[in-house]
């Protein structure tokens, strides 16, 4: 009997499986995390319902890595960030995203891009807005469901707190990755000696809802997830450095 039922349900399993996995999540069970190597139910559920914002697919990342050496050492933390985007999209039905300073392609599909200078060869389905990440962003309050900034904040001189105030103002949720505890040969290098305490000071008084290891090792990257950001006042106008290509 069970075998007959399985045969009958076989053609619709691709549809039923994401729904089956979605129900326990809604009931509050802890579904284990995964990444591009083992796509989670969240990624399948996102693709099934065609949400407006999703993380970059493994296929697209491998294509980028094959063509551009820049991406070869960045697979792990970018896969984790992509999975986190899928999780937030499944939970909050994200429709709009803004990404700061992506290299050649935003990791969030359909994302708009904010960069002080658009990098040559940038590919995005969204619009590209030129602007200084440390000044007032040219967007209304809560204009985006999600802001993504991967390895960008360390490039902002001493204006990280200013940039984060704008994140709070324009976004409902955010994913920000940073190099933590890097030891560089040049202590003046912007990646050198950033501690977790220092990072949390940039975000204060807002606290991340989750802190996720992007990748370990001497070039450790930590991902800070913010859900349901509070309403925030516009940051004070000013200009220092922009949002350059990620490290």
Give 193-213 pLDDT, tens digit per residue. 999 999 999 999 999 999 999
Residue 120: inside a domain: yes
Residue 187 sits in a domain whose CATH number is: 3.40.50.150
DSSP E strands in 12-124: the ranges are 97-100, 112-115
- pLDDT tens, position by position, 170-184: 999 999 999 999 999
Instruction: Specify the pairing of strand 97-100 against strand 112-115.
Output: parallel
Residue 193: inside a domain: yes
Q: What is the mean pLDDT of the chain?
A: 81
Residue 165: inside a domain: yes
Domain enclosing residue 114, as ranges: 93-226
- Residues of the chain above pLDDT 90, percent: 55
pLDDT at 38 > cutoff 50: no
Look at 42-46, 112-116, 196-200 and tell me which has the smallest mean pLDDT: 42-46
The pLDDT, as a whole number, for residue 161 is: 97
Residue 107: inside a domain: yes
Residue 198: inside a domain: yes
Are 149 and 244 spatial neighbours (Cβ–Cβ below 8 Å)?
Answer: no
- Mean per-residue pLDDT, 212-236: 86
Q: Per-residue confidence at 59, pLDDT binned at 50, 70, 90?
A: confident
Are 144 and 170 spatial neighbours (Cβ–Cβ below 8 Å)?
Answer: yes
- Looking at the DSSP bridge assignments, the partners of residue 107 are none
> What angle is formed at CA 16 by the lines to CA 12 and CA 22, rounded to 5 degrees?
165
Residue 87: inside a domain: no
- pLDDT tens, position by position, 4-17: 666 676 676 555 55
φ/ψ of 235, rounded to 5, equals -70, 155
How many separate domains does the chain show?
Answer: 1
- pLDDT tens, position by position, 121-170: 788 888 999 999 999 999 999 999 999 999 999 999 999 999 999 999 99
Are 150 and 77 spatial neighbours (Cβ–Cβ below 8 Å)?
Answer: yes
Confidence (pTM): 0.76
Residue 204: inside a domain: yes
Rounded CA-CA distance 20/11 in Å is 15
Residue 3: inside a domain: no
Are 166 and 140 spatial neighbours (Cβ–Cβ below 8 Å)?
Answer: no
């Amino acid at each position: 009997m069970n075998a007959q039922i399985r045969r009958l349900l076989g053609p619709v399993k691709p549809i039923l499986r994401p729904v089956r996995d979605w129900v326990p999540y809604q009931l509050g069970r802890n579904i284990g995390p995964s990444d591009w190597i083992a796509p989670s139910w969240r990624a399948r559920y996102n693709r099934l319902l065609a949400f407006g914002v999703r993380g970059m697919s493994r296929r697209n990342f491998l294509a980028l890595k094959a063509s551009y050496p820049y991406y070869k050492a960045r697979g792990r933390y970018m896969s984790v960030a992509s999975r986190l985007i899928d999780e937030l999209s499944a939970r909050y039905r994200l429709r709009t995203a803004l990404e700061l300073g992506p290299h050649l392609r935003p990791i969030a599909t359909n994302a708009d891009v904010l960069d002080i200078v658009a990098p040559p060869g940038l590919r995005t389905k969204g619009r590209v807005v030129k602007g200084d990440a440390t000044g007032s962003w040219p967007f209304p309050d809560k204009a985006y469901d999600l802001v993504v900034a991967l390895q960008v904040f360390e490039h902002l001189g001493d204006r990280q707190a200013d940039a984060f105030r704008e994140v709070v103002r324009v976004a409902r949720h955010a994913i920000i990755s940073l190099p933590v505890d890097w030891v560089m040969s040049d202590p003046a290098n912007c990646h050198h000696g950033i501690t977790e305490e220092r990072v949390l000071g940039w975000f204060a008084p807002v606290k991340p809802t989750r802190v996720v290891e992007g990748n370990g090792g001497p070039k450790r990257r930590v991902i800070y997830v913010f859900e349901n950001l509070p309403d925030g006042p516009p940051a004070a106008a000013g200009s220092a450095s922009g949002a350059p290509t990620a490290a």
